[in-house]
Every structure is written in C-alpha cells, then in structure tokens.
Structure 1
C-alpha cells in the first residue's frame, strides 16, 4: 500500500521546499499501530524546523507535523484488535503530515467520543506545553501573576483559560487590539498592546510596582528580552518559542538581576516522562476539554493534505482561527 506524504529535502521557505510525495507503507511491527490521519493543525512549531532553525536536530529528508488525530487502520502483533477503528492521537511516532502514521500503542492516546476531531487534533502541543509550565514548572496558583507574549496565539489563549483553572492572574501581551475581547473573556485580567503602551511601565502599574512572578516568551528577540524588565527580582522567564527567528541574548539582559531563564522543550519532557505520567497529563487535559473548561482554537479554514502550500499561506496570513490539514 502507498500513501501520500509531505516531505522537505532542504531547509527554506515552507511553500518552496515542501513536496507532496508517496511512500510505501510498511506493516506495523509488534506493539505498533497504523493510523489513517483525519485532521492536523498547522502550528508555528511545525514550520520553524522547515525553515532550518534547528538544523542539528533535523535529519533530512524530513516530514513536518507534531500532532493530529486519526483512526487506527492496522495493528501489529501483540496489539488488541479492539484498537481497530478507534480514534487516537498517534504521538511519539512518525510525524503527522502524511496519510498514514505509524506509532507505538503505548503512546497512542485514545480520544473520547464526545471530543470532535477538530478539538482532538489540537490537544497535544499547546495544551500540554501550557499545562506543564503552569503546574510542573512554575506551580502557579492564587496570588501569582504570569505574563505571556504572543497573547493572541493559540498557546496564549490556552494560558488565559488555565489562569481561571489554576487561579493565577494572566496579563496577555499583544501587538494589536483584535484579540483583546476574546482574551479577557477567556480569563486574562488585562491585555497590553505594545504598539500603544510601554510594556515595563504598564506591567509595573498592573502589579502595583512589584512586577510579575513569571513570564512566557513565545517570540524571542527583543520581545522576549524586554520581559526581564517586567518581573520581580526573583522572577522566571520560560522560553518556549522563536516566532521572530531571533534567539534572545539572555545572559546579557539578565546580568545584574536575579531573574532566572529556563528553556522549555516539550520534546525533552516527552523523552523523560514515564508512561504513567504521559497518560495522566492527557487524562487531565481531556477531562478539561470534555467539561468545556478548556476550549481549543476555532477553525479558520481547512485544506486537503495535498494542498499544503495553500494551507500554509492561509496559516501565515494572519487570519483568525486554526488552519487544518485534512
């Protein structure tokens, strides 16, 4: 059996280097599943490696895509036939921008029937990242204040909702006003538009001069560096992304301060966590989604997998809502 796959053989602009190809599907080995993908969101983290930001960690040719949902089509020896036809998140296996994904049964997450494909396809990268930062890394609770840049992003919206669930105060940072109403509705206590206000002064005013307890940097560059001046003396910056493509010079901007900078790589957590912890995190998040307390990004548009260039153009156009590859 053959299946379509999106690959890149060199780094560069995604619309230039991504190609639609075919691969021969190999039968699943013991303990493995074959999953026919139904939906995959396009996240910034999917495209950053394509552009060559992490060449030492990307072996070419490569397939993009870190999350999505699909239906189990075949099982290997030792896997119950009851898994056939089940909807799963095929994680910790092959990347997802292909028709058929192979993964281990141990790390395939079964999706409850009352969670739709569009929501299920987004339950990995952003929710797990935000949940772990709030609970495991920063232990945020009542009395804490967190600031997050790229506040209008899918990740920023997750943090806004988690602030209500965990009890901390969230200040979202944006570059325009188009997300303000949504973020306040989702749980942010304030939204700061940096094209209209000076960030350190505004954060000082919102925190009574104390500064925030912690910050999450999704952008990098000077946007990330200025977060240091918004924190209390012993505050923490968690660096999770490089939307700007520029790595902050953390050792310089923190010099003379007690601010701590930590890099959070979901990949590293995945490699270290036990199977029990893996299942626990997804159980917690699935229950939040099922109860309506955690809502995934709305869908802006959807494209067939073979129309990947058009999908990426839509994802990077600034349109509202998540773009899906079906």
Structure 2
C-alpha cells in the first residue's frame, strides 16, 4: 500500500508519499481499499500538532474515507469482502488502504457514490447531532448558519431545511452566499460587507434567530449572540477563525438563551445507538435527495498538498475530495 505519512507534525510540508507494508486486519477490524477520502479542518490541525488528539508517530492522516472491504478480521459480524463502506476513523484515510475498527464502518446503500460517502459522515453527523439532538430544532424556526459555505455549513443548511426550518446563511463573499442559496438557504448575509446585527434584525423582524450554528468563533460570536431570539440556542461547533470567543454570560440570562456545546465524536462514542439512528436517518435523507454533500473539487490522492493549500486559502465551498484511481 501507499500512503501520506506524517513522521514529524510540523505542517503539511513534512508529509511524504511512501510505500508501507500491507498488514492483515486484526481481530474486530476491516481492511478497506480506499476509493475516496475527504479533507476536514482537523486534518490540517493534526499534521500541525494543534489538534486535541495527538496520534503516536508516525501516522497516516485522513479522518474520513469510503471504499471496499478487502478482508474481515476475526470476530467481525455484519461485514463481508466486497461490501461498500464509509468510515470516520480519525487517521488512516490519505492512502490506498486502511485497517479500521469495524465499529467505525458505515455500510453504504446502493447508489451512494464513494465521493459523496467520503464527504458525508463527519459533516452531516456533526450537523445532525447539533441541530436535531442538541438544539431540538422545530419546524418553522429560524437557523443562522455561520461559515455557511464550508463543509459543516453546507451540511447544516440542508439538514435544517430537511427539518422544516428557515435558514439564513452567513458567509464571507457574495459568491459563497450565492452558492448557499443554490443548496437551499432562504436568505444570506455577506459578513465581509454588512453588519451581522443589522442584517439579522432586518431578516427576522427584530426577533433574531432561534438557533445559531457556529463553526467559526472569533469576533463573530458576540454580535450574533446579542442578536439571538428569546430561548435561542447557540451551538458551539468549532473555531475556524482561530480565536476562542469569551461571551458575556449576562447575555444568556437576558435572552433566556442556551450556549450548547457540540462534540459529535464524543457523542458517537458515548451514545453509539443514537448515533447509528442519526446516520440511518441521514442515509435515508440522502436516498430521498434531501441532503447531498457539496463537493468543491475532486482531486487525485497524490494532490493532497494542493488540496491542503486550497483549504488554507478559505476558497473552498463544501468539501475537497481525493480519489485513488
């Protein structure tokens, strides 16, 4: 097998494409021939030694991929050679093959492309857990999605619409805002040009959004939280802008609002049955055409450095996907 190996986590430039030994799956594992893998923001952080999970060196990065089962380890039930699967494994995706715990594999129904499947679990499971579970989103409520053109943002737009909500998508350019409308947003705000507070007041008749989906953090958080509706739920997804905001907690009191943490990975570990049910609903929504990953570009696995460079430029709309020929 071949894979991108991280031997020194100082950044993307230290990754190297290397031949590695083919290892049979251990007990409870599947060996998967990887057909497609997608980039997520943690993939960048982990090779920079900035992510909360620090795998032992050396390691193959790549949190998420899809492919075909080539071998089944001892004790594995429910999978056979030839099955199509997707997985969110934390590492191992940026290569031609990977051995993974079978508990991490999601069987793919017929008609689910490898490219879509590789860009599905992390962003859609995160957004489903956030909006449906943590926020208890109701039909007719208004959701503000920050960073709406990114991977989790585009997933959040689609899931909120599938749940019957009205969606305001906030992004950093007119082009990104236009793409958000194409995938279902009811209204948009270009926060590089306009005041978030003024636009939210106009778009909600002064009420504010019922739910805020925030994967950005930084200096957007406080003005948005000041605009949230009574009994609003502010979903803390991540901090793509870099800075972790410090919200004045008196605002939560005055608004009767909740600040709600969203950590899908831990939820999946602690509540596997609820996570499996969410993934099942998402797969059904995919089959019904209600959700579909937005793919920015599909590149060769050998083009990982170029994909990271595009991610770092903040030009990506949706997800970047790498494929093995």
Q: TM-score, normalised by structure 2?
A: 0.89
Task: Kindly indicate whether the alpha-carbon contact (under 8 Å) linking 2:29 and 2:72 is maintained by their aligned counterparts in 1.
Answer: yes
The answer for the alignment partner of 1:134 in structure 2 is: 131
1:109-142 superposed Cα distances (whole Å, 9 cap, x missing partner): 1111211111111110111111111211111112
Residue 215 of structure 2 corresponds to residue 218 of structure 1:
yes
Change (3 A) 1:193 1:82: closer
Task: Kindly indicate whether the alpha-carbon contact (under 8 Å) linking 2:234 and 2:258 is maintained by their aligned counterparts in 1.
Answer: yes
Say which SS state the counterpart of residue 325 (structure 1) adopts. strand
Q: What is the CA–CA distance in structure 2 between the aligned matches of 1:44 and 1:253, rounded to whole Å?
A: 32
The answer for the alignment partner of 1:272 in structure 2 is: 270
Q: What is the CA–CA distance in structure 1 between the aligned matches of 2:321 and 2:122, rounded to whole Å?
A: 14
The answer for the alignment partner of 1:311 in structure 2 is: 307
Say which SS state the counterpart of residue 156 (structure 2) adopts. helix
The answer for the alignment partner of 2:143 in structure 1 is: 146
Task: Kindly indicate whether the alpha-carbon contact (under 8 Å) linking 2:69 and 2:83 is maintained by their aligned counterparts in 1.
Answer: yes
Aligned residues: 320
Change (3 A) 1:81 1:52: closer
Change (3 A) 1:79 1:268: closer
The answer for the alignment partner of 2:31 in structure 1 is: 34
* Structure 1 stretches of at least 4 aligned residues deviating more than 6 Å after TM superposition: none
Q: What is the CA–CA distance in structure 2 between the aligned matches of 1:35 and 1:130, rounded to whole Å?
A: 26
Measure how far apart 1:270 and its partner are.
Answer: 1.6
Q: What is the CA–CA distance in structure 1 between the aligned matches of 2:300 and 2:309, rounded to whole Å?
A: 11
Residue 208 of structure 2 corresponds to residue 200 of structure 1:
no
Which segment is superposed worse, 85-94 or 156-165?
85-94
Superposed CA RMSD: 2.4
Which segment is superposed worse, 176-185 or 64-73?
176-185
Unmatched 5+ stretches in structure 2: none
Change (3 A) 1:267 1:65: same
Which among 183, 188, 191 is matched to residue 191 of structure 1? 188
Measure how far apart 1:206 and its partner are.
Answer: 1.5
Residue 111 of structure 2 corresponds to residue 111 of structure 1:
no
Task: Kindly indicate whether the alpha-carbon contact (under 8 Å) linking 2:88 and 2:122 is maintained by their aligned counterparts in 1.
Answer: no
Change (3 A) 1:261 1:186: same
Which segment is superposed worse, 164-173 or 314-323?
314-323
Task: Kindly indicate whether the alpha-carbon contact (under 8 Å) linking 1:93 and 1:102 is maintained by their aligned counterparts in 2.
Answer: no
1:140-185 superposed Cα distances (whole Å, 9 cap, x missing partner): 1123111111111122222222232111111111111102333223
1:278-299 superposed Cα distances (whole Å, 9 cap, x missing partner): 3322221111111211111135
Residue 16 of structure 2 corresponds to residue 19 of structure 1:
yes
Task: Kindly indicate whether the alpha-carbon contact (under 8 Å) linking 1:93 and 1:101 is maintained by their aligned counterparts in 2.
Answer: no
Change (3 A) 1:290 1:143: closer
Q: TM-score, normalised by structure 1?
A: 0.89
Task: Kindly indicate whether the alpha-carbon contact (under 8 Å) linking 2:151 and 2:317 is maintained by their aligned counterparts in 1.
Answer: no
Unmatched 5+ stretches in structure 1: none
The answer for the alignment partner of 1:89 in structure 2 is: 86
Task: Kindly indicate whether the alpha-carbon contact (under 8 Å) linking 1:7 and 1:19 is maintained by their aligned counterparts in 2.
Answer: yes
Say which SS state the counterpart of residue 174 (structure 2) adopts. coil
Q: What is the CA–CA distance in structure 2 between the aligned matches of 1:23 and 1:118, rounded to whole Å?
A: 24
The answer for the alignment partner of 1:51 in structure 2 is: 48
Change (3 A) 1:238 1:320: closer
The answer for the alignment partner of 1:263 in structure 2 is: 261
Say which SS state the counterpart of residue 82 (structure 2) adopts. coil
Measure how far apart 1:89 and its partner are.
Answer: 1.2
Task: Kindly indicate whether the alpha-carbon contact (under 8 Å) linking 1:5 and 1:20 is maintained by their aligned counterparts in 2.
Answer: yes
Task: Kindly indicate whether the alpha-carbon contact (under 8 Å) linking 2:123 and 2:152 is maintained by their aligned counterparts in 1.
Answer: yes
